[in-house]
Amino acid sequence: MKDADKAFEDFVRARSAALVRYGYVLTGNPHDAADLAQEALARLGSAWSRVRRKDDPEGYARTTMARLHISRWRRRRRERLSADLPELGYTDPGLDRAEGDGGLWRALATLPRRQRAVLVLRYYEQYTDEEIAALLRISRGTVRSQAARALDKLRASGVPAHTSATVGKGR
């Protein structure tokens, strides 16, 4: 096995669970999250020799996932999410957010895809409005308006204000 292949395999083993969790935050669905992570890892594998030398491989995968998610949203233009939590049999503890979050994750799942993506990138990934705009290929004003609308919907849904602190985790 070549060193590059081994390095990619090590990366996948070390970071795939975190990428699936990130996909879950974007999609609200564990199956779609796994699909996003798998597609992003496949694309990363194709570009591995270039990405591992110049860029952050995890950043590349996360950017790919966000763009794929928005691309699917643009194609479908229909919301398919439900407010249901993932199946109880799912074993990844990083996705088990039902306890003590005041319903934040369920409320996020009810938002339209673009609004949810903006909030996830802003508060979970801690990107700036300019970075979000570039990543999603929308204007900075659209980022701000989508975030404001999403936050208004979350407030109207009765999610306690203190739960917003549980969203941010840093990059």
Mean pLDDT, the chain, whole residue set: 80
162 burial via Cβ count (<10 Å: 0-12, 13-18, 19+): exposed
Residues 74 and 127 in one domain: no
Instruction: Output phi, psi for 37, to 5 deg.
Output: -60, -45
Residue span of the structural domain in which 138 resides = 98-171
78 burial via Cβ count (<10 Å: 0-12, 13-18, 19+): exposed
Distance CA 111, CA 71 (A): 17
Q: Does some domain include residue 93? A: no
Check pLDDT > 70 for residue 161: no
Distance CA 144, CA 77 (A): 21
Tens digits of residue pLDDT in 81-118: 555 655 554 444 544 444 455 577 778 888 998 999 99
Q: Does some domain include residue 86? A: no
The pLDDT assigned to 97 comes to: 47
Check pLDDT > 50 for residue 169: no
Amino acid (1-letter code) at residue 105: W
Check pLDDT > 70 for residue 163: no
Q: What is the mean pLDDT of residues 17-36?
A: 91
Residue 23: band (very low, low, confident or very high) from pLDDT cuts 50, 70, 90? very high
Residues 73 and 136 in one domain: no
Please give the angle made by the CA atoms of 14, 17 and 19, to the nearest 5 degrees: 100
Q: Does some domain include residue 91? A: no
Q: What is the mean pLDDT of residues 26-50?
A: 91
Q: How is residue 90 written in tokens?
A: 């799912």
Residues 66 and 102 in one domain: no
Tens digits of residue pLDDT in 139-151: 999 999 999 999 9
Distance CA 5, CA 21 (A): 24
The pLDDT assigned to 164 comes to: 47
Q: Does some domain include residue 83? A: no
Q: Does some domain include residue 90? A: no
Residue 53: band (very low, low, confident or very high) from pLDDT cuts 50, 70, 90? confident
Output helix, strand, coil percentages for the chain, rounded to the nearest 5: 70, 0, 30
Residues 74 and 20 in one domain: yes
CB 157 within 8 A of CB 110: yes
The pLDDT assigned to 96 comes to: 47
